């Protein structure tokens, strides 16, 4: 008779994550892994486009495109040649709420990679030639976007819903404001915002804790201890129950809709994730996909998503459809939102959503770069080092009553604010 097969308990993610604190107090979360000789790092600093001067939106975004365009002794060409020589991937970005950077390098080139990151973070030259070149690249993109109906609808939604708030300003700036941003604005932004306070770091790969601690001080130790950010108020979308139509001669209308959401630290957040998946977050199982695309063929794509911004959580969604069917499409979207708010999801919808959300969760950290990003996000959201182990259990714990209550909190009376770009019939 065969002996019973031994079972092993699945490894906990939290057991692999180590808090590393440098001599100067800089903290990072590290997953040490020598399976592949690669090191991936991601960092994020609070304060993105919301910290742009009110009359110069696009400052943070322009800076993010410039700090690897020459630093320290290397001009732009020499800096990128050195990155290429050592196969170092280095990228920076700025969104509404944060300034971020990613580094990916072979372990044998770790020293060179961290030095290049240090130079970019601390000693970006901001020379005139790259400023004008990157400015021209952004301007070219803005000119293209000025006739893109999806971008137009999205921009109009934020401009109106958050009128008077920094979220109303476009992250990339505008063709009118971009030329106003001078080198002194970039230097001032860097001095005010790039600091060790609210710095979150995730590292994955072939590096030990002691080495990482030394590198943290080398890369980030010279940053100011504290930022001097402008205070930003919490905002909520306005215009619920109204629509804004922007006339544009195209055969299809681009629709954006949305309203206020609950915050990321709210106890009902994961219930809201489940509810949104049922509404429009599930690619092929959502109500909007079924009602708008499958049953009526009104659009190829329709979606909704939660956006838990630091200064104003929202849910947003969108679709594109023929002008003559825009009113019908929007009526269906509004009806499904109202129905979900009033009745909540069915038991079958709840089970399907939870199965997908738990089954797909591991795909968020199936590469070292993705995992480093998740470590940063979990820190930023203050979810705890064991969150990856707890998350699926929390999703599975969402009950039908939780979903009904949260749907009512999320969608209220079903009113949304909508922008439409095109020539929609009946709106």
**In the chain, what are the domains?**
14-220 (3.30.830.10), 243-422 (3.30.830.10)
Q: Which of 204, 199, 196 is nearest to 388 (CA)?
A: 204
Confidence of residue 284 (pLDDT cuts 50, 70, 90): confident
Give, in order, the Cα–Cα distances in Å from 100 to each of 18, 53, 96, 284: 21, 19, 11, 32
pLDDT at 43 (0 to 100): 98
- Answer yes or no: is pLDDT of 264 > 50: yes
pLDDT confidence of 11, banded at 50, 70, 90?
confident
Confidence (pLDDT) at 10: 57
| pLDDT (0 to 100) of residue 7 | 43
Residue 126 and residue 194 in contact, taking contact as beta carbons nearer than 8 Å: no
Question: Which tokens go with 152?
Answer: 């137009």
Question: Quick check: 256 pLDDT over 70?
Answer: yes
Q: Residue 8 — pLDDT band, cuts 50, 70, 90? A: very low
Contact between residue 163 and residue 48 where contact means Cβ atoms under 8 Å apart: no
Q: How confident is the model at residue 177 (pLDDT cuts 50, 70, 90)?
A: very high
13 pLDDT above the threshold of 90 = no
Beta bridge partners of 253: 321
Q: Tally Cβ neighbours within 10 Å of residue 286.
A: 24
Q: Cα dist. 10→15, 80, 204, 309, 389 in Å? A: 11, 43, 20, 34, 10
Average pLDDT across the chain, whole number: 95
Q: Is the dihedral of CA 26, 32, 38, 41 positive or negative?
A: negative
Asked whether the predicted pLDDT for residue 4 surpasses 50, the reply is: no
Q: How confident is the model at residue 332 (pLDDT cuts 50, 70, 90)?
A: very high
Q: Rounded CA gap, 122 and 231, in Å?
A: 24
């Amino acid at each position: 008779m065969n002996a019973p097969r031994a079972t092993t308990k699945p490894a906990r993610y939290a057991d692999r994550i180590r808090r590393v604190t440098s001599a100067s107090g800089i903290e990072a979360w590290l997953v040490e892994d020598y399976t592949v000789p690669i090191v991936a790092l991601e960092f994020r600093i609070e304060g993105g486009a919301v910290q742009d001067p009110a009359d110069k939106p696009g400052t943070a975004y322009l800076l993010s495109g410039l700090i690897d365009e020459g630093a320290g002794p290397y001009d732009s060409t020499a800096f990128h040649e050195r990155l290429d020589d050592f196969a170092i991937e280095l990228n920076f970005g700025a969104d509404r709420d944060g300034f971020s950077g990613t580094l990916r390098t072979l372990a044998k080139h770790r020293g060179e990679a961290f030095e290049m990151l240090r130079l970019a973070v601390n000693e970006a030259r901001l020379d005139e030639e790259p400023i004008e070149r990157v400015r021209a690249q952004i301007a070219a993109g803005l000119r293209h976007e000025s006739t893109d109906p999806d971008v137009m609808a999205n921009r109009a939604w934020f401009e109106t819903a958050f009128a008077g708030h920094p979220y109303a300003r476009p992250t990339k700036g505008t063709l009118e404001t971009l030329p106003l941003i001078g080198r002194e604005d970039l230097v001032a932004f860097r001095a005010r915002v790039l600091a060790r306070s609210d710095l979150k770091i995730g590292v994955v790969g072939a590096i030990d804790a002691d080495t990482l601690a030394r590198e943290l001080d080398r890369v980030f130790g010279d940053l100011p201890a504290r930022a001097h950010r402008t205070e930003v108020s919490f905002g909520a979308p306005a215009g619920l129950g109204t629509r804004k139509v922007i006339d544009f001669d195209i055969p299809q209308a681009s629709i954006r809709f949305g309203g206020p959401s609950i915050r990321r630290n709210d106890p009902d957040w994961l219930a809201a994730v489940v509810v949104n998946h049922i509404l429009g977050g599930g690619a092929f199982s959502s109500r909007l996909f079924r009602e708008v695309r499958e049953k009526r063929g009104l659009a190829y794509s329709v979606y909704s998503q939660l956006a838990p911004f630091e200064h104003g959580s929202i849910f947003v969604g969108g679709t594109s459809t023929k002008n003559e069917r825009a009113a019908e499409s929007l009526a269906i979207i509004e009806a499904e939102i109202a129905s979900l708010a009033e009745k909540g999801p069915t038991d079958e919808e709840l089970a399907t959503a939870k199965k997908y959300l738990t089954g797909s969760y591991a795909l968020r950290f199936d590469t070292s770069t993705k995992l480093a990003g998740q470590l940063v996000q979990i820190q930023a959201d203050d979810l705890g080092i064991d969150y990856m182990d707890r998350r699926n259990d929390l999703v599975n714990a969402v009950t039908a009553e939780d979903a009904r209550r949260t749907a009512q909190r999320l969608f209220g009376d079903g009113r949304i604010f909508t922008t439409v770009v095109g020539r929609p019939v009946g709106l």
